[in-house]
Amino acid sequence: MKKEILKVENISKCYKTKKHLFSKQDEHVAVKGVSFTLHDGEVLGIVGESGCGKSTLVKSIIRMIEPDGGRIELFGKDFMSLKASDLKRARRNIRMIFQDPYSSLNPRMTVFDIIAEPLLIERKYNKEEITQKVRETMKRVGLDLGFSNRYPHEFSGGQRQRIVIARAIITDPKIVICDEPVSALDVSIQAKVLNLLNDLKELLGISYIFISHDLEVVRHIADRVIVMKDGEFVEEGSCDEVFESPANSYTKELLASIPHIEVHP
């Protein structure tokens, strides 16, 4: 049995909204008391339609937004109770890759500065160490070292996502959260990025939480799958279990919606 490295218990997040200026505030429950675990070396896929609460969930886990209730344990320690410098140190081990590689990159920073930024924030490396680590990381994700002084607008979507991945892994995290990391890319580029993520998992021992609405993408990369609907988990199991013998009607509907190409002689 692999070691449990992340435990999420009854996480909830509610947003207060107004339909118009003089209306009362309504509550929109984005995440409804969900629980799961992540194990060392595992890829956990979380799938569901847009708006089901997937992104809110993972942002709550990393505390980009604060959940309203629940408990998070990271490597057996209470992640929810951490403040300031302790939280920053803990976040070194849990990083995030976002859906749109262009909007998540600072257009005024060079590739080198973007990738080096997490190391500069930690303030524990000298200039030579940072340069060496950036170069090693660029090579790992398939970026030419000649790109170091270029800016994000000079690259394709796939290259930008490699820059984002490099920034995420440069601190050697144990967990990387991938929030729709290939949905903005062409299909041919998606496969290359997914293969890169798989290679990095084996090379660096990373565990992934992989968020997507695309079931075929999740099937390609995940070991275990959770199906989410309206802020709740409705099914969980191995890829084979969920894709071959779905138990929930919503999961069956998602699988039935996957387009198939029929070839006639």
How confident is the model at residue 261, as a pLDDT? 44
Residue 32 lies in a domain: yes
Residue 95 lies in a domain: yes
Residue 264 lies in a domain: no
Residue 262 lies in a domain: no
Specify whether the CB–CB gap between 20 and 185 falls below 8 A: no
For residue range 83-110, what is the model confidence (pLDDT) as tens digits? 988 898 888 899 999 888 788 899 999 9
Query: Residue 66, CB half-sphere, CA atoms under 13 Å: how many?
Result: 6
- Please tell me the pTM assigned to this model: 0.89
How confident is the model at residue 264, as a pLDDT? 47
b vs e for 107-135, b when ≥16 Cβ sit within 10 Å of the residue's Cβ? eeebbbebbbebbeeeeeeeeeebeebbe
How confident is the model at residue 259, as a pLDDT? 65
Task: Say whether 93 sits in a helix, a strand or coil.
Answer: coil
Low-confidence ranges of the chain (pLDDT < 50): 261-264
Residues 6+ apart with CB under 8 A from 48: 54, 213, 227, 228, 229, 254
What residues make up the domain containing 36?
A: 4-17+24-256
Residue 265 lies in a domain: no
Residue 261 lies in a domain: no
How confident is the model at residue 23, as a pLDDT? 58
**In terms of Cα–Cα distance, which of 57, 90, 30 is closest to 177?**
57
How confident is the model at residue 21, as a pLDDT? 58
CATH number of the domain at 96, please. 3.40.50.300
> What is the number of structural domains in the chain?
1
